[in-house]
Amino acid sequence: MNIGVNDGHTIKGYGTGAVGIIKEGEHTRLVGAEVRKLLKEAGHSAINCTVDYANSVSQSLSLIMDQANRQELDWFISIHFNAGGGQGVEAYTYGGRQYQDAIDVCSNITKLGFRNRGVKDGKGLYVIRKTKAKSMLIEVCFVDTADANHYLKIGYKNIAKAIVEALIGAIKVTPVETPVKVIAPGEMYKVRKTWADATSQIGAFSDLAIAKAYANSHPGYSLFNSKGQNVYSVAATLTIGTVTASILNVRKTAVSNSAIIGKLNKGTKVKIAKKVGNMYNIYFGDNGGYVSIDYIK
Ligand SMILES: [Zn+2]
């Protein structure tokens, strides 16, 4: 996956963050850098969408959006800390959409000993409204209450781990190294699904490291030399399942009697994002849906 990570506010000039027992601007950067590191270690691509200085608040926001919208992202996440005397973690999505990843960010951070304030409507937030990608703003906890002391005890690394585990879930990217067939000078490593399918080519690079990094962020793609020999592959373990019931209900949430948002016929292939209790969170429509694991093979 390709994930844009914004470390909240600027640190200088306009648009700086909250200050309490801890400084928001300092800790969003610690968490954000660790999130990017963990994503990369898991084979995903993480793009830093942080702005350190701006001449105005509106400039800081539009600079962040420029960085986010420059490329196709699977997720844009903005890391913040809250202020104003409350306690707990919350996440904001457009219209308060209950994306499983957002629910999981909150519940993973709650497991570290914070209150769960839930997934809320972030339509009013510039970075949620203006991103082309699916976006989520995370308020890790409060800078000006006992939350801050608890956070210092837990540490930014555990917060980052909780966020990353929620984002990548079951989607693990496994690079498959084949003995590298080095290209001749002037040749390029071509990034395609298969050599035969030339139309699937999404890039060509002369630098192997850059080509590999690009392939890593596009699971299912491989690198080929100009003779069509496979140089490097990325296996995505995003699981595909097949519907075994004659008609299978797709539900809005991971609760088995929640609202039905669609129906799938027997034999339909579904992309499974995560297992949640007795349900699979699948790719369905814009926001995903849930089906019973008993009727997927
Ligand atoms: Zn903030």
> pLDDT for 57-78, tens place per residue?
889 899 999 999 988 888 999 9
The rounded Å distance from CA 80 to ligand 1 centre is: 4
Q: pLDDT value at position 234?
A: 65
Is the model more confident about 231 or about 21? 21
- pLDDT top residue among 22 and 218: 22
Q: Judge whether residue 176 has pLDDT over 90.
A: no
| CA 175 – ligand 1 centroid, Å | 36
Rg value, the chain, Cα: 21
What proportion of the chain, given as a percentage, has pLDDT over 90?
Answer: 54
Nearby residues of 178 by Cβ (< 8 Å), 6 or more positions away: 230, 231, 232, 233
Mean of all residue pLDDT scores within the chain: 88
User: What is the per-residue pLDDT for 221?
Assistant: 79
Q: 236 with 263: CB under 8 angstroms?
A: no
Instruction: Output the CA 279–ligand 1 centroid distance in Å.
Output: 34
Contacts of 43 by beta carbon, 8 Å cutoff, 6+ apart: 172, 173, 174, 175, 216, 234
Distance (Å) from CA 56 to ligand 1 centroid? 15
3-state helix, strand, coil in the chain (%, to 5): 30, 35, 40
- Of the candidates 38, 36, 47, 43, the residue with the CA atom closest to the CA atom of residue 4: 47
Q: What are phi and psi of 45, to 5 degrees?
A: -105, 135
> Distance from CA of residue 87 to its chain's centroid?
25
CB 47 within 8 A of CB 3: yes
Ligand 1 centroid – CA 158 distance (Å): 20
Cα-Cα-Cα-Cα dihedral of 125, 127, 132, 136, to 10°? -80
Query: Residue 288's pLDDT is what?
Result: 86
Q: Which of 36-50, 54-68, 121-135, 176-190 has the lowest mean pLDDT?
A: 176-190
Close Cβ partners of 170 (under 8 Å, ≥ 6 residues apart)? 237, 238, 239, 272, 273, 274, 275
Q: Is the pLDDT of residue 107 over 90?
A: yes
**Residue 292 phi, psi dihedral angles, 5° rounding:** -65, 135
**CA 78 to ligand 1 center in whole angstroms:** 9
Q: How far away, in angstroms, is 270 Cα from ligand 1 center?
A: 37
